[in-house]
Amino acid sequence: MLRPQEEAHLGHSYRRPRFPAGALRIAVLYRDRFNDHARARKAFWRVYDEYFDSRQTDDALFSLARMEKADGREEESCRVLNLLKKKKPDSRYLKCLSYVCPSIPKTDRPCSRKILEDLGVDPDEPWEDKPVVIP
């Protein structure tokens, strides 16, 4: 197996560009195909730990928070979303955190239509101060 990051000449390094996407895909397969949430949880955390600077890190944390909420672990879900908010201040999910964790205050900017549709929320309905039930 190849290493995720290899040394190069003159002090540089090469990062394998598809490893983070592959690690996220493994986590999603554990969650959706095998319905093994314990392994999916570990795989989502692996994306965060090993590929922190990749684009898939915020996807992994948001998916993990949604899975935790669906499993009835709302406190853990909110903890993961607060970590996302702290460590990834440029994440596209920041405007949508209150839809998953009602204790996080909503922002003045609207959440993306695509993310709302993924959450099962009608993007054309105005936001009401009630939590969204994630299937």
What is the model's pTM? Answer: 0.84
* 71-90 pLDDT per residue, tens: 999 999 999 999 999 999 99
Q: Which two tokens stand for residue 76?
A: 């853990």
Collect the ranges in the chain with pLDDT lower than 50: 1
Question: What's the CA gap between 76 and 68, in Å, rounded?
Answer: 7
Residue 135 is predicted with a pLDDT of 60
Residue 1 is predicted with a pLDDT of 46
| DSSP classification of residue 133 | P
Fold (topology level) of 17-119? 1.25.40
Residue 7 is predicted with a pLDDT of 64
List of residues 6+ apart from 43 with CB closer than 8 A: 23, 26, 27, 30
